[in-house]
Chains A and B, each alone.
Chain A
């Protein structure tokens, strides 16, 4: 029996609208979501909106301060900083999103299997997965760099492995919780096979929190990509990457601060926007408890 106050609270929260529309409902969600949408569009349409070729060097005009026609100035090789920041969005977003997609796919599969079958299999999977968590992200990246050399592939794998444990644990916790629900017992009692229970009931109900955490992880992935780029382990020249740009800016930090400040500000704002929007989504989906579980 639910109390009156519960009913009212639920009614006032308006569960008829979709979670997405509710996440956009608050002004914070609007700003963060709007910025992210703009960033994705910029990355997609980079070739059409960049004023200059990101790789075109003009050594006579190196370290030019912001002004016309280089709105954010140029770097030491005379390349347009604005164009490079825009192309950098492409690199950062695609590397981070690809890595997280790999991580979610592998993590959900492992987590679902561990949670569903339990026993020795569960313990084995969770032990291995937890081990990956105990290595620093940079160390994992170094291992990949040692094996396949520096570049975006290493970065992608490093990010994917760094977040694998999180998705495996989250999915497993969801599955273990859902297995207790009456409707699972009902389905077993109808004579359903395990794959029916997993694919038709458990996974569809477990997916929402994983997607939201995945979205937050993309933000962290951008930072990790920038870090690796900064150390020269990620994107190799002339591919523009926010991290690598910052690294190249350190040499002339006081002479031409715009080279390091521009990508730095973009990284910070992007990560803040991802987190704000993710929080709004969590609130809208009402899944805070489920995320905390794991």
Chain B
């Protein structure tokens, strides 16, 4: 298997400049993240708000410039690309965004939104445009009759399908899915997930799937990265791999089963994700961790495969 995407030591530091009334502050939104994504696979990135999963998606697509680290897409060094070359390459790596409601220009019809990718990439030909649009709409399970609608005339689920169609217009190889179902109703969420599964099989796509929903990620992905405050704390090579990191275990405990016979008696771990600013040394999870020892507060654990798969923990389960 060849790797479509190779991410090495990727970091992004955000700095807020100081002023007369505040100190300058800095935080790592993404801190030293490395992973490989093989062609045709689906990697899930899971974590709570502020863990850096959405920033990671944007760093990979260079919508945000990384501070350090390297990115290779199909063997090409992405960070060495000129702006013009990067613009051309974007056709190969597309993204589906979380909020379908603001993902389409309110002044654009569906047709215009779906033609835009071709216009932007200089591949627009007047004769074939209508056919392309109706093929794309059919591909994502929408009626070609919707083509002349405006975004406010269609439902959230339909908007997200248009978002997927637009992302697929240029026949990309990598699709980054940033919480594509988070703002949709449950019944519609399942539709979109099943559409994405079908498209992966039919078009041979590679997915990076970002979500806060562990059960969804376990259902949809081949491999899972668990993130906490900008770092990958555990890489589950299979969705049913034994959990080693206490944070992943907390996440599992917090995910409710849709079955009244499986009620959880034990209260989950207390505490919340701390502020990413001015992090003390050591493991970011140490304050909430039931297994924390002295070393956890002095030394930041690194990913190590000593326990079967990659875990960043001094006292793994």
Contacts and interface: CB of A to CB of B under 8 A. Distances in A.
Interface of A: 1, 15, 181-183, 185-193, 196, 200-201, 204-205
Contact of A191 (B90, B95, B105): B90
Contacts of A183: 102-105
- The 4 A-B residue pairs with the shortest CB-CB distance, nearest first, are A191-B90, A191-B87, A182-B102, A182-B103
A141 B155 CA distance: 54
A186 B166 contact: yes
A1 B187 CA distance: 13
Contact of B97 (A182, A190, A191, A193): A182
A167 to B, nearest CB: 21
Interface in B29-53: none
Contacts of B103: 182-183, 186
B120 A190 contact: yes
A70 B56 CA distance: 78
A211 B201 CA distance: 50
Interface in B64-120: 86-91, 94-95, 97-99, 102-107, 116-117, 119-120
Contacts of A201: 105
A237 B121 CA distance: 59
Contact of B152 (A15, A182, A188): A15
Interface of B: 61, 63, 86-91, 94-95, 97-99, 102-107, 116-117, 119-121, 152, 163, 166, 170, 183, 185
Contact of B63 (A1, A15, A189): A189
Nearest to B151: A183
17 contacts: A182-B98, A182-B99, A182-B102, A182-B103, A185-B63, A186-B104, A186-B163, A189-B61, A189-B95, A190-B90, A190-B91, A190-B166, A190-B170, A193-B120, A200-B116, A204-B107, A205-B106
B104 to A, nearest CB: 6
A187 B116 CA distance: 8
Contact of A190 (B104, B117, B152, B185): B117
Given A186-B166, A191-B88, A205-B105, 7 more contacts: A186-B97, A186-B103, A189-B94, A190-B170, A191-B89, A191-B121, A204-B107
Nearest to B185: A1
B207 to A, nearest CB: 16
A191 B120 contact: yes
Contacts of A189: 61, 63, 90, 94-95
A188 B105 CA distance: 13
Interface SS of chain A: helix, strand, loop or mixed?
A: helix
Contact of A1 (B97, B121, B183): B183
Nearest to B121: A191
Given A15-B152, A182-B97, A204-B107, A187 B102 contact: no
A166 to B, nearest CB: 24
Nearest to A205: B107
A191 B91 CA distance: 7
Contacts of B87: 191-193
B213 to A, nearest CB: 16
Contacts of B97: 182, 185-186
Contacts of B183: 1
B169 to A, nearest CB: 8
Contacts of B99: 182
A186 B87 CA distance: 13
A181 B163 CA distance: 14
Nearest to B105: A183
B281 to A, nearest CB: 34
A185 B121 CA distance: 16
Nearest to A188: B63
B113 to A, nearest CB: 8
Nearest to A185: B63
A187 B120 contact: yes
B176 to A, nearest CB: 9
Nearest to B163: A186
A250 B61 CA distance: 70
Contacts of A1: 183, 185
Contacts of A193: 87, 120
A13 to B, nearest CB: 13
Contacts of B116: 187, 190, 192, 200
A190 B92 CA distance: 9
Contacts of A188: 63
A188 B102 CA distance: 15
A177 to B, nearest CB: 11
In the complex, which of the residues B61, B63, B116 has the most CB atoms of chain A within 10 Å of its own CB atom? B116
B208 to A, nearest CB: 14
Contacts of A200: 116
Contacts of A196: 119-120
B211 to A, nearest CB: 17
Given A1-B185, A15-B152, A182-B99, A190 B121 contact: yes
B102 A181 contact: yes
A168 B95 CA distance: 33
A181 B99 CA distance: 10
Nearest to A16: B153
A234 B102 CA distance: 48
B64 to A, nearest CB: 10
